[in-house]
Amino acid sequence: PTDCSEALDIALANLKEAVESGKAEIIRGPLPKVMADPIQMVQLFQNLIGNAIKSHGEERPRIHISSKQMDKEWVFSVRDNGIGIPLEHQKKIFEIFQRLHGDQYPGSGIGLAICKKIVERHGGRIWVESELGKGSTFYFTIPVGEGKD
């Protein structure tokens, strides 16, 4: 099993410069161990948190990472206080090379497509709930594995 707390530690270490230069506040809840590829879990957290840092408005970025078990899956959430995503774009952002803000914010446009691929490869789903000007919450699920330790 992959310890998601450790995966998050590595993702945050990889994002250290962005976290520090953006003065981002990271709030984290307890995270489970899941049957998933550890490198891909790092990449998943890194992409979602990196996006959250980049998409902040006037306020300093505040990012909450948490999880809860619902039936046979873990539901993870990465919530930010950023600029939000218009409703009409919320489905499209998981497609490759979809960049909402053109050159306003750095990025390659493949981060969320990679996240979707990773989650689906592990039998999960990914979606976003967002309010313009208030921020976004990205949710993803990973099935509860047999590794009950």
Judge contact between 53 and 91, C-beta under 8 A.
no
Confirm whether 58 is domain-assigned. Answer: yes
Q: Is residue 149 part of a domain?
A: no
Q: Are strands 33-34 and 73-80 parallel, antiparallel or unpaired?
A: unpaired
Is 33 a member of any domain? yes
The answer to whether residues 138 and 46 touch, using CB atoms and an 8 Å cutoff, is no
134 assigned to some structural domain: yes
Mean pLDDT of all residues in the chain?
89
Residue-level pLDDT at 58: 83
Cβ neighbour number for residue 103 with a 10 Å cutoff: 7
Domain membership flag for residue 44 = yes
How do residues 43-87 score in pLDDT, each as one tens digit?
999 999 999 998 888 889 999 999 999 999 999 999 999 999 888
Is-above-0.85 flag for pTM? yes
- Structural domains of the chain, count: 1
Residue 56 lies in a domain: yes
* Residue position matching structure tokens 């691929």: 117
148 domain residue, yes or no: no
Q: What is the CATH number of the domain that holds 97?
A: 3.30.565.10
Sign, Cα dihedral of 141, 143, 147, 149: positive
Q: What is d(CA 116, CA 19) in angstroms, rounded to the nearest whole number? A: 23
**C-alpha span between 128 and 1 (Å, rounded):** 26
Q: Does 102 fall in a domain?
A: yes
Domain that holds residue 96: 2-143
Q: Which two tokens stand for residue 33?
A: 């161990």
Q: What is the distance between the alpha carbons of residues 114 and 6, in angstroms, rounded to a whole number? A: 20
